[in-house]
Structures are given as structure tokens and as C-alpha cells.
Structure 1
Amino acid sequence: MKTEPAALAAGVADEQDSRAEARANLRLMRSLLIGIFILAVTAAFYFGRAFFMPVILAFLLALTLTPIVRFLRKSGIPEVVSATMLVLFSIFAFASAGYLLSGPVIDLINNTSSIGQQLTERLAQFKRPLARMMDLAHQLEALTETSQEPGVQRVAVAPSGILSTAASNILDAGTSITIVFVLSLFLLASGTLFYEKIIQSFASLSQKKRALRVVYDVEREISHYLLTVAVINAGLGAVIGLGLWGLGMPNPLVWGAAAALLNFLPYVGALITILLVAVIALISFDSISYALLAPAFVILCDIVEGQFVTPMVVGRRLEINAVAIFIAIAFWSWLWGFVGALMAVPLLVVIKVFCDHFEGLSHVGNFLAAQHVTVVEEEANEQDSKAAA
């Protein structure tokens, strides 16, 4: 009789162990499936970039213009009319910027060799400590060239099909741009149809309400962020362009547009703009001290924008961890090149806002948040946004 409780306890322990092992195996299987899914999505994005890149750009453009469409709808203008006006204005702005910037940019590209030579001559006084290293490099190169077998000739294969490749690239770019604007027009003109289709996929009324709340919260926060950041970057580019024009920099419109565009790449974009402006200023002005005023002005504008304007207007809640930003820029630039790098931070904000609205993904949103943003602050801000809604 005394062995029955012990046997019963042993059976319960074995059952608990088997359940724990089953749960561990289930978690492992889930992790493996998530990893396989991520790899599959990455491969699909890489090989299907001709399709996915313009589609995602269209969604980001539609989210950016959505607050304006809603404001005009409250004023009595239908979504179709406002969406058409905004898309046509975007096309006009894009075409005008391309036309105005094409000439100076092509001149800069054609004069790259002369710019490099002028910069080398200008910095010759700073190059003396490195003269020995340069001589050593030239000697090693000479030894490498003379070490080749006599009679062996170098064969240079000239690139073929340059015109056909350029025509193909132009055609692909034109197709992608057309998809972006046409799809964004349909997304903006559809109004709430897209949200209604999402809600109809749920059965119960509580699930419909929760899905509607999440969809509207995510859309509102992302659209507000994208539109605000786009306006801030445009203002930053205008200020930098006017300031460089006042300093006498050549092609100030190009550097203002470059600053506005590259500012979608936090840290990296500002550094690239500063280096480009510094190089052109050094070869454009006689005095080195005066030439340094141009990059110093760009640094001042970037500090004011990054430390005061953007945090005050956008808020701290949507700030992203710097490590996550660099990883995202590196990943998307490898995936889709320069366009992917520009889309990296907006997509990261989309992922963060989406994760903040689901308890199972809150740890991902917390990881993506900046270090000084705590979970308590995020929950408080989320409750305030729900109360305001």
C-alpha cells in the first residue's frame, strides 16, 4: 500500500517531464520555423526586388501622404480628387528635381578625376608624413609588375553592350517609378476599403474592433512619422542649400537636395553630406580656413536637426536604437542598394510600431527602441494615444 503513492508520484513526475520536453521541442520547432521563414522572405526580397521594391515604396509614399488626404477629406474634398492631386504633384516635384539636378550632378561625375587631382594638390602639405608609405607602395607595385614572365601580355576585355545595358536600366527604373506612383494613387484613392477588407477577415465583433484599433493606430503613427520626417528633411535641405549659397559654394541646390535625401540615413547620411561638402569647398575656395566654414555649417544644421528639431516634433517614442539602425541600413543596402538604404529606417519604424501593438512582439519593439525610452513610457504613451482616439 505504501508503494502506490510513490508510484503515483513517479508517474506524475514522468508526465510532467514529458510535457516539459514536449514544450521544449515545440519551442525549438517554432524557432526553426521562424528562422526558415525569415530566410525564405529574405531570399524572396533579394531575387524579387524588381517587384517588391516599388510595391513597398508605393506603400511608404501612400502612408506619407495619407494625413494630407484625410485633412482634405474633412474639408469636403473626395479621396480620389485629393489623391490624384497629391500624386500628380509628387510626379511634378520628382521630375522637376531630376531635371534641375541632372546637369550639375552629371558635371560632378564627369569632373571626378579633376576633383580628385585638385584635392590631392590642395592637401599636398598634409601629405608629407605619408610620403614614405606612398613611395613604398609604388615600389611594391613596380616589383609586382616586373615580376611577371617576359612575353606575357595583359589582356583587357572591353565591356560590351553598354548602350543596351543602360537602356535596360532606364526601362527598369521607369517601370518601377510608374508602379510606385500608380499603386500609391490607388492606395490613397481607395480610402478605408483596405481596412474594411482586413476587418472582414475576423469573425467576432471584439476581434474586429481590436483589429480596427490596431490598424488605425499603426497607420496613424507611421503616416505621422513619415510625413513629419519628410518635411523636416526638406526644411533641412533648404536651410543647408541657402546657407551654402550664401557662403559662395558652387551648386548649392545639389548639396541641399543631397542633404535632404541623405538625411533619411541617420548618422551615415549626415557624414556623407559633410564629407562631400568639405571636398568641394576645399577645391573651390583659396583659403582653407574659409573652406572649412561650409562643412562646419552643415554640421551645425545636422546637430540642431538631430538633437532639437526632430525629437521635439516627432517625439522620443519612435526613436530607434542606433545599433538597429546601422544593422538595418547595412542589410537593406545589401539587399536593394542605395534605395534599400533609404527605406531602411522607415521600414524599421513600421516594424517597431507594429510590434508595440502586440504583446507577443513587444520584446522586439523594446529592442528596437532607443536606450532612454523605457517600456513604462511606451505603455503610457500607448494608453494616451488610445484615450485620445
Structure 2
Amino acid sequence: MSSKNQKILYMGWLGYKNLGDELLWDLFKEKFHTAMEGQPWELTSTPPRRFIYGLNVDPFDVVILGGGSIIGQDSIDFLYNAMKKGKKVIIWGTGIDWIEKEDLKLIEKGHRINLYKYLSKGHCEKLVEVIERAEFAGVRGPLTYEFIKQMGANEDKLILSGDPGVLLSREQEVAEPLRRFEGSKVIGVNWGTSYNKIYGGSEKKVEGQLVKAIQSLIKKGYKFYFYSVWETDIDFTKKLYNQLNDADNIILDTNLHHQQYLLDLISNFYFTINLKLHANVISAAADVPPILLAYRYKVFDFAQSINLNQLAVSTDCLTIEEEILKLEQLIASDRENIIKNMRSPIQRYKNIINEPFNNLLYVGKQWPS
């Protein structure tokens, strides 16, 4: 093993008070410090609100493309440059996003799409070469996997590793916030905004359907707990709460919690309804079935990775209220099997996503001459 003081760079979309990106960096740090205990290696991340822009790769020995939907032309260029300079490259549960709904449907059916609508031919070729030379190339879900496979990537190198957020697990009981709902089934709701950059193009329409579904579920005896995973979403969640105007049956949480507290809290819920990707990831990691408001490619990617296709409701659906009510009935009748079916791939991903740490980030390995 190399005795040199290795410098490790984690690439992540950090500094925007978005719990999803921050929790993935936190998980990587935690795993790194546990695995590398006693080693004089330095771990740093891309600067807050700057990502890789203006960053020099030369000082680093290992470059990690972290979790999140950050496969794009700029990140590919950075990784390719790092690889060409002899840096070791690891892709750690990364995904792709922004694929149009029509192409999503084609990929789901196993058909080829025009990749060059999203990445140039040159960038596709670079990513294929990066994956070929990477120490570990793990991607979030089957839709990301299929997209990259269509580029011509080596399937022996490309790994379906799952979202690293599934590494989270319950630590302690957090029930106090729900004390006044004791004895009732509670549904968690995560709402927010993507500035209408969603399938269907209208968050207002989705919100209107969600309001009706919540009102129907309250009539069935459910209580609700509203929470956010991005600072910007809090005002949108307040707006949803105010539309419903039902403080007896709904708790509004305007805090942005640490991921561990949120997971421990969610573990008390009967199920959740979530807009944001990592609200769904945390719910699944807590063994609580999520109804996924699938607003972009990345949500379908995650849903399919853990056998939750049937619980994903596309935001361009015209009958979202009805779909949510149908899924409530499905969860009520088959909750344990749903949990069992998502738990199996999650356990598999936990083993795969730990592989780079079990191999000490491959820093003792040399390129063949």
C-alpha cells in the first residue's frame, strides 16, 4: 500500500441546503473515516456552490464522482481530464436526469434513443473510456445504467450500485413530534418545487390533485406530517398546508432536519408521499413505503432500482388523486410484502456501495505499465 499522503476529491453539488446532496457527502465522509482510520489521507469536497468550476485536479490522487444526478458534460470532462493525468477515478452511485418522458418510455421498453440530445458524441465516448478505466463505476438505477450502456460502455465494468442514500439506517426512537397523533396512522408528505421543470410542466396541477387526495385520506382517518428536504421547498410546503387549513389533522414541520433525525422520524409513518428524490430514498431506507411523485427521470430511476415501479405516479398523470387513493389501498393490503420487496435490493446495494471502502479506495493499486 502506498505510504504517500493521498489526496481524495469528492465531487458533489454541495452548498445549496439540499438534503439529498449533503447526505450523500456525509455518508461518504463517514464511510471514508471509518475505512481509512489511521491513514494519513486527506479528503476534501468540491467547494460549496462552485462544484468543479475553476478547480484544478492536479493536487488530487483519487477523484470520486459522488451521488446525485451529476452525470453531465462538465463532470465528464473533469473526470476524463483526471483519468488522463493518471488519477484514479471512482463513480459512486451517480445518476443521470433531465431525460424527456418520451425517451424514458423508450428506454423502459428496451429501445434505443438519441443519446446526443443530452450529451455530445464526444462526451459519450469520454464517459465510456472513463468507465473502462475507473476503479469502480457504480450508478444509481437501471435507467441510468441503460442510458450509459447505450453509449457502448463495458457492461463488465458498469455496476448497478443503487443510490448511496440507502446506506442510512434507523438509530433511535423519534416519536415526540407525533405524540398528539398517537393511535392514528400517519402519512408523511414531502412537497416543494422544481420550478415547473417536471413531467407535465405544472406543479400547480399536481398540487391541486395532492390536496384532494390528502382531504380524502383524512376522511379515512389518516393524520399527516409535512416536511421538507430543501430550504427552498419550505415556503411551498407552507402553501400546501395553508390550502388544506386543517391543523387538527396535519402537522407542518418548517425545519430542515439532519438526515438521521428525519429517517428516525419517518420510521413512525405508515407510508409517505414524496416529491423530492431523497425524501423517497430516506423513506425507503426507513422501511416505510413511499408513493413517489415521479417528476423527472431520476425518480423513476430510483423507483425501479428498488422494485417500487407500481408506487411511482408520474406528475404528468391526469388522475393523480385517484392513483394516490388506489396506492393507499394497495399499501394497506400488502404493506409487508412491499417492504420486503424493496428491502432485498437495498441490502444488495449496501454491500455493493461499500466495495470502494473495503478496497481502501484502491489507492495502493498501480496502473499496469
Q: Same fold (TM over 0.5)?
A: no
More helix by proportion, 1 or 2?
1
TM-score by length of 1: 0.24
- TM-score normalised by the chain length of structure 2: 0.25
Structure with bigger strand share is 2
